[in-house]
Structures are given as structure tokens and as C-alpha cells.
Amino acid sequence: MEGIDPVAQEIMAALDCLLHQERCAGLQASALEERQYALTETFRMVQDMQSESAIEEIFTKFGFVYYGLEDDAELWISDEHGLMVFLAFTAPDGQYYNYRIVAFDVIGEDMGGEA
């Protein structure tokens, strides 16, 4: 972790924590499903909303901009921090994602001005 941008470290820690929480929630939902199916669906819906909110919160905290790529992928970009985070959701219900963080430098910017 040494030499890694502190913002990237915080994002990685937050996403790893969310991933762990989602896996635990998935196990809880599986156990609950055998006893109370209707309650399981409500539980999953609440967990999904909490995860989406937590993801959005961590990225907006650092000024990232959201780009929807596909139904199962998101891209968050921060020019200020020179970071891109690609989230790929691997399960049909949107749970259990993985991520890639890429650092970049802005070397030029075309503002669409006159030549």
C-alpha cells in the first residue's frame, strides 16, 4: 500500500468493506430464504439500496463523476485526483462486484475553443 495515493487507499478500503458486507448479507439472505421467502426479498432490496448509497457516497465525497457503461458496469472518474474506478457487477441481481482503480495524469485538455 506504500506509495499509493491516499484517496485510492480510502476508496479501496471502502469498496473492500462493502464487498465483505454484501457477501455476509448474501449468506444471511440464503439462510433466511429457506424460512421466510417474502422477507428475504425485502432484505435483499434494502441491502441493494444501502450498497448503492454507500458506493455513491464514497465517490461523491471525493468529487468523482459517474458514467454508466452497461447494466452491469459503472465508471467513476476524478480529474482532480487522477483516478478512474471501474466497477463490474458479476451477479444477475447486481451483487458481488469487483473493481479496478487506474491512476492517470491529465496532460492536455481541449475545451473546444477556436484554433
pLDDT grade for 93, boundaries at 50, 70 and 90: low
Give the pLDDT score at 68.
84
Query: What is the percent of the chain with per-residue pLDDT over 70, rounded to a whole number?
Result: 83
pLDDT value at 55 more than 70: yes
The total of structural domains in the chain comes to: 1
Q: Quick check: is 115 in a domain? A: no
Q: Quick check: is 112 in a domain? A: no
Q: Quick check: is 41 in a domain? A: yes
CA angle 59, 65, 68 (to 5 degrees): 100
Q: Quick check: is 109 in a domain? A: no
What whole-number distance in Å separates Cα of residue 88 and Cα of residue 65?
16
Residues 78-88: what's their mean pLDDT?
A: 89
pLDDT grade for 115, boundaries at 50, 70 and 90: very low
- Residue 54 vs residues 32, 74, 83, 111: alpha-carbon distances, Å: 24, 14, 19, 33
pLDDT grade for 27, boundaries at 50, 70 and 90: confident
Give the pLDDT score at 1.
47
Q: Quick check: is 52 in a domain? A: yes
Q: Quick check: is 25 in a domain? A: yes
Q: Quick check: is 110 in a domain? A: no
- Regarding pTM above 0.85, the answer is no
Q: Quick check: is 113 in a domain? A: no
21 lies in which domain range?
6-103
37-67 residues labelled b (16+ CB within 10 A) or e (exposed)? eeebeebbeebeeebeebbeebbeebebeee
